[in-house]
Structure 1
Amino acid sequence: MFRSLLGVALLAVTVFSQGEKDLITDLPGLLFKANFKSYSGYIDANAGGTWRMHYMLTESRSNPDTDPLLVWFNGGPGCSSLGGLFEELGPFYVNFDGKTLYENPYAWNAKANVLYLESPIGVGYSYDTQTPQYFKADDDQSAAQNLQALTNFFNVTQPKYANRTFYLSGESYAGIYIPMLTDLIVKGINDGSFPNKNFQGSAIGNGFMNVRGLLNALTLWSAYHGRASMQDWDTIKQTCAKGADVDSFDFSQYTVSTNNIDYVGDNSSCGKLIQPLISQNANNDEGFDQYNFYQECYDKSVFQAPPPPASGKRSKRSALKGVSSVQKNFQYQKLGSFQGTANLSPNTATLVNRFSNDNQFGYFCWNEDAVATYLNSDNVQNALHIPQEWKNQNNTWADCRMSIYNNYTLKYDTTNEFFNRTISNLKTDFRFLIYNGDVDTVCNYLGDAKHIRQVAADNNLQTGPRTPWYYSDNKQLAGYVQTYSGKNANGANIIIDLLTVKGAGHMVPYDRAGPSVQMISNFVWANKSSQINYSDNSNFDPNIQLSDLVGSFSSTISFLSAIFIVLINIIF
């Protein structure tokens, strides 16, 4: 009896130590008192342990011991999920100085434990122990790495989550990662090789799920968002479509690509006509942000490098790259040298505008550089348990690793087979959430809606009405939602929610922060087999109380009071 109890005790200590060794005990520059734990460490992404995938985990602010796990992937391919953590949905935003962290009141860990995986190997802090600056990746390899890493996360890294309800989520090229991984996990659950059977759903934001479908839809989206005159559009319809239904016409036949990701018009007359509509950077004079058609960074000499040429290549923002030190130190009226928001208030979080959909003092325009400065600090890397082995390879953390992107050849230009196989193989109820910011040109809502309509038709799912959904008690229109539902041959209930987020671009959790966290909280807390009311705010309270600052004494000061104090200081 004594030996049995001792064995149980030793096992408990072992499990505890494996998870807790990755606990972040002192995150540099943290300006607020976090009421949740964060972890950072590594997971083996292959059998030999030579592929080391970095993860961060921010536990729930609510009930971390029982709340579900939400796994997050950024896309690219080659972009780090820590970009999602520090620039979009995570609890930490980086100040302009690149040294301090302020609170994101709309973090997705409101009622979920959020796991960020830096995938594939070579992205962010993830690395190959045998090949410095490893950059080889493709769709099948990425899927295998993600499956192995998630398997080891549940088995070895954080076994306390092994029986927890979990969901996959991500954006952009994760529109390929997630359907492939979903398919593999369902297969692993069915054959007993995957350790956690409580897989209940996958959420994809602005997904790159059907390349040619997105391309064709972007032609329509651009034409009806003022990028073509009526005369030019008539010429395109007459010359290219030749009287065919333009809504279903295949414009992609007039395009070419070297990597099956980035397309440009070919040398045909139609290819030249549609090129200005399918390019996110059609010419140097147009100059919109491809990730949000209506987003501006007003002082381009400071916030943005010049737009790239009309190559058809999707580019990641780079706020201050190539800008001279003189330009960086420009003067704002009455505010002196621009230092982000640090010279307005000791607590940047009090300045976040939660009365309207205005963004946070241009955070979108400069956050990538601030995050890169922060994550390349030696103190930060030590706190995140980044090993000397990674540093010895002369690696640097980057929001997106261009060597991976430039050498990546997409294999699956549509994900229908993965959706269809998943839906047919499911033995328990499952739901998908396909959400889109409706002003994104990289992965537009129209192309994704057409793709999901085909998936629903392939699987005999019934179509529901398209209805508005609302944010908070004020009933602000947040977008529209349509539900496809039905049973598969195994009797499992399948639900696909197709949802738009009004006014959001590619980075929905940043552009419409409040609606996004209400959306995802309702998704992970929905009753199985029931239709979700995305307007419900019982899973997220928009009346947010900010955390105490480090060294402060009161946790009761409300957002309204904080804003009032800041306004008084500015005025006087």
Structure 2
Amino acid sequence: MFRSFLGVVLLATTVICQGEKDLITNLPGLLFKTNFKSYSGYVNANANGTWRMHYMLTESRSNPDTDPLLVWFNGGPGCSSLGGLFEELGPFYVNFDGETLYENPYAWNAKANVLYLESPIGVGYSYDTTTPRYSQANDDQSAAQNLLALTNFFNVAQPKYVNRTFYLSGESYAGIYIPMLTDLIVQGINNGSFPNKNFQGSAIGNGFMDVKKLLNALALWSAYHGRVSLQNWDKIKTKCAYGADMDNFDFSQYTLTNNSIDYIGDNSECGKLIQPLISQNGDKEGFDQYNFYQECYDASLFQAPPPSGAGKRAKRSAFSGVSSIKKNLQYPTLGSFKGTSNLAKNTATLVNRFSNDNQFSYFCWNEGAVGTYLNSDKVQNALNIPQEWKNQNNTWADCRDKMYDDYILKYHDTNQFFDNIIKNLKTDFRFLIYNGDVDTVCNYLGDAKHIRNVAKNNGLTVSFNSSSSSKTTLFQTETDRVPWYYSDNKQLAGYVQSYSGKNANGANIIIDLLTVKGAGHMVPYDRAGPSVQMISNFVWAAKNAPIDYTSQANFNPNIQLSDMIDTGSSSTTSFLFVVSAVLLNLIL
């Protein structure tokens, strides 16, 4: 009897220790006090353990022991999910110096535990133990890696989550990762091979889900955003489309591609007319392809990007100049402040002169700062990154070009995966397909057309999600999408439309199709407040019930910043505190 009891105790201790061994005990450069735990570690992504996938977990600020788990994937392919953590939806933003972390008050761990998986193997800190700088990947391989990594997360790395409600989420090329992984998890739940049965939904932001629909919709989006003259648009209508319906015209017939991801106009007259409509070479044309209205004013702060290949999407430029910002800002040191009411002797110094966004142009320079931080040896030690990874002469990169170049896209659309999921589900399930409406990389119109096709193929009907009222009702009727709002001031946040129905197993399926006004590709950064209200309402929705995305029941927009950590009185720390915390206070 005693021996049996002792065995139970030892087993419980082993499980607890296994989960806590990845705890981050001292995150370098942290400027604010946290009320949540963070973890960093590895899970096996193949049977023999040679593929090691890195994860980070930021637990909920609310009730981590009961709040749901939200799994996040960045896309690329070849981009690290730590980019999502440190540049978009995570609680930590990296300062100018690449050494300190300030608070993102709009982090998605407000009421959810957020897991970031660096996928596929070869991205970020994930690596192959037998092949240094591994870069081979394709859609099927990535899906298999993700399935096994998530299985081992629940079984080995953090078994306390094995019975927790969980959701998948991600952006961009995760529009392929997530439907494929969702399909595999549903199969695994049905046959008993997947450990967590409490899978309730998947959210895809600005998803790369249907290549042709995105390409054709981008031509339309561009035509009505001033990227072509009316005369040339008329030529395209008459000489290229021959008077066909432009909403359904296939512009791709006049394009070329080397990788089935990036397209350019061919050498025909129509190809040359169409090229300005589908070009995403924003560095050459003077716009950011991830957000058509985003501007980075001070060119002296950035390094010129390398020339992009034929149609290849180039990431935005990396931050390079810290000293010029210090000089231009003319901020007093922290010691000259008395409280926070008198922010500066010259109020004009508080004007954002580098960008038109509200977060001190973080979008414009964050990649360089994050890269500096995550390539620091002391940071890597704190994140439990093994010497084996370092010995391969690996470098953490936001997006790894070699992985992008070597990646093989197999599925030009994700219809078959949505069809499989909807057919095989045995419990209620929901999708959230959200888009920033000024993204040219994966535009809202192409994704909307794709989802309309998925709904039609699976007998889902248009339903009216009344997010404009506090009481949400669902009407099975043909009606237009409706607005949803953010904060007490009822600021328009975008529009939402839903498709719903039952499958042959009796499971209720809902697909919410939502736009985020004024956001680009990186919705959690561009519209931080609306994004966390959106995702919190999604993961806390009642089963088989329409979501009121306007509701503040799951997110309070009246945010209070965390207390600061006393790091001393150095001028650098003082400057960084002013730039970070004070400006954030201004916008809250």
Do the aligned residues in 1 keep the contact of 2:215 with 2:278 (CA within 8 Å)?
yes
Which residue matches 1:269?
269
Which residue matches 2:179?
179
Which residue matches 1:362?
361
- Using the TM superposition, give the Cα deviation of residue 8 of structure 1 relative to its aligned residue in structure 2, in angstroms: 1.3
Length, aligned pairs only: 549
- Using the TM superposition, give the Cα deviation of residue 409 of structure 1 relative to its aligned residue in structure 2, in angstroms: 1.8
Do the aligned residues in 1 keep the contact of 2:308 with 2:314 (CA within 8 Å)?
no
Q: 1:337 to 1:472 in 2, by over 3 A?
A: closer
- Using the TM superposition, give the Cα deviation of residue 313 of structure 1 relative to its aligned residue in structure 2, in angstroms: 1.0
Letter in 2 for 1:315: A
**Counterpart of 1:330 in 2: which secondary structure?**
helix
Do the aligned residues in 2 keep the contact of 1:330 with 1:337 (CA within 8 Å)?
no
Which residue matches 1:490?
505
Do the aligned residues in 1 keep the contact of 2:241 with 2:249 (CA within 8 Å)?
yes
Equivalent runs, 1:2-401 vs 2, <5 Å: 2-281=2-281, 284=284, 286-303=285-302, 305=304, 308=307, 311-320=310-319, 329-330=323-324, 335-336=329-330, 358-401=357-400
Q: 1:506 to 1:334 in 2, by over 3 A?
A: closer
Do the aligned residues in 2 keep the contact of 1:352 with 1:360 (CA within 8 Å)?
no
**Could you report, residue by residue, the CA deviation over 1:311-370 in whole angstroms, capped at 9, with x for unpaired residues?**
3111111223xx6xxx6643667635999x9999999xx9999xxx94211110000000
Which residue matches 1:555?
none
Letter in 1 for 2:300: S
Mapped to 1, the partners of 2:30 and 2:420 lie a distance apart of: 45
**Could you report, residue by residue, the CA deviation over 1:456-500 in whole angstroms, capped at 9, with x for unpaired residues?**
000000112400000011100000000000000111000000000
- Using the TM superposition, give the Cα deviation of residue 115 of structure 1 relative to its aligned residue in structure 2, in angstroms: 0.2
Letter in 1 for 2:413: T
Do the aligned residues in 1 keep the contact of 2:154 with 2:162 (CA within 8 Å)?
yes
- Using the TM superposition, give the Cα deviation of residue 303 of structure 1 relative to its aligned residue in structure 2, in angstroms: 3.0
- Using the TM superposition, give the Cα deviation of residue 232 of structure 1 relative to its aligned residue in structure 2, in angstroms: 1.0
Do the aligned residues in 2 keep the contact of 1:287 with 1:307 (CA within 8 Å)?
no
Q: 1:482 to 1:566 in 2, by over 3 A?
A: closer
Do the aligned residues in 1 keep the contact of 2:294 with 2:357 (CA within 8 Å)?
no
Q: 1:352 to 1:60 in 2, by over 3 A?
A: farther
Q: Does residue 506 in structure 1 map to residue 500 in structure 2? A: no
Equivalent runs, 1:408-447 vs 2, <5 Å: 408-447=407-446
Which residue matches 1:457?
456
Q: Does residue 478 in structure 1 map to residue 493 in structure 2? A: yes
Q: 1:291 to 1:304 in 2, by over 3 A?
A: farther
Mapped to 1, the partners of 2:55 and 2:482 lie a distance apart of: 37
Q: 1:334 to 1:75 in 2, by over 3 A?
A: closer
Do the aligned residues in 2 keep the contact of 1:329 with 1:338 (CA within 8 Å)?
no
Q: 1:342 to 1:460 in 2, by over 3 A?
A: farther
Mapped to 2, the partners of 1:344 and 1:368 lie a distance apart of: 31
**Counterpart of 1:247 in 2: which secondary structure?**
helix
Letter in 1 for 2:557: P
Mapped to 1, the partners of 2:73 and 2:188 lie a distance apart of: 20
Do the aligned residues in 1 keep the contact of 2:282 with 2:289 (CA within 8 Å)?
no
**Counterpart of 1:536 in 2: which secondary structure?**
coil
Q: Does residue 518 in structure 1 map to residue 512 in structure 2? A: no
- Using the TM superposition, give the Cα deviation of residue 301 of structure 1 relative to its aligned residue in structure 2, in angstroms: 2.9
**Counterpart of 2:52 in 1: which secondary structure?**
strand
Letter in 2 for 1:117: L
- Using the TM superposition, give the Cα deviation of residue 430 of structure 1 relative to its aligned residue in structure 2, in angstroms: 0.2
Do the aligned residues in 1 keep the contact of 2:437 with 2:519 (CA within 8 Å)?
yes
**Counterpart of 2:489 in 1: which secondary structure?**
coil
Mapped to 1, the partners of 2:37 and 2:323 lie a distance apart of: 37
Do the aligned residues in 1 keep the contact of 2:282 with 2:288 (CA within 8 Å)?
no
- Using the TM superposition, give the Cα deviation of residue 306 of structure 1 relative to its aligned residue in structure 2, in angstroms: 5.4
- Using the TM superposition, give the Cα deviation of residue 253 of structure 1 relative to its aligned residue in structure 2, in angstroms: 1.1
**Could you report, residue by residue, the CA deviation over 1:187-217 in whole angstroms, capped at 9, with x for unpaired residues?**
0000000000000000000000001110000
Mapped to 1, the partners of 2:302 and 2:508 lie a distance apart of: 48
- Using the TM superposition, give the Cα deviation of residue 266 of structure 1 relative to its aligned residue in structure 2, in angstroms: 1.2
Mapped to 2, the partners of 1:494 and 1:526 lie a distance apart of: 13
Do the aligned residues in 2 keep the contact of 1:254 with 1:266 (CA within 8 Å)?
yes
Mapped to 2, the partners of 1:3 and 1:398 lie a distance apart of: 50
Letter in 2 for 1:48: N
Q: 1:362 to 1:522 in 2, by over 3 A?
A: same
Q: 1:232 to 1:194 in 2, by over 3 A?
A: same
Listed as ranges, the gaps of 5+ residues in structure 1 are: 553-561
Instruction: Please give the TM-score of this superposition, normalised by the length of structure 1.
Output: 0.92
**Counterpart of 2:248 in 1: which secondary structure?**
coil
Instruction: Please give the TM-score of this superposition, normalised by the length of structure 2.
Output: 0.89
Q: 1:441 to 1:460 in 2, by over 3 A?
A: same
* Identical residues among aligned pairs (%): 79
**Counterpart of 2:247 in 1: which secondary structure?**
coil
Letter in 2 for 1:524: V
- Using the TM superposition, give the Cα deviation of residue 3 of structure 1 relative to its aligned residue in structure 2, in angstroms: 2.0
Q: Does residue 528 in structure 1 map to residue 543 in structure 2? A: yes
Listed as ranges, the gaps of 5+ residues in structure 2 are: 344-349, 464-479, 568-577
Letter in 1 for 2:563: D
- Using the TM superposition, give the Cα deviation of residue 282 of structure 1 relative to its aligned residue in structure 2, in angstroms: 6.5
Mapped to 2, the partners of 1:235 and 1:382 lie a distance apart of: 60
- Using the TM superposition, give the Cα deviation of residue 305 of structure 1 relative to its aligned residue in structure 2, in angstroms: 2.1
Mapped to 2, the partners of 1:365 and 1:74 lie a distance apart of: 18
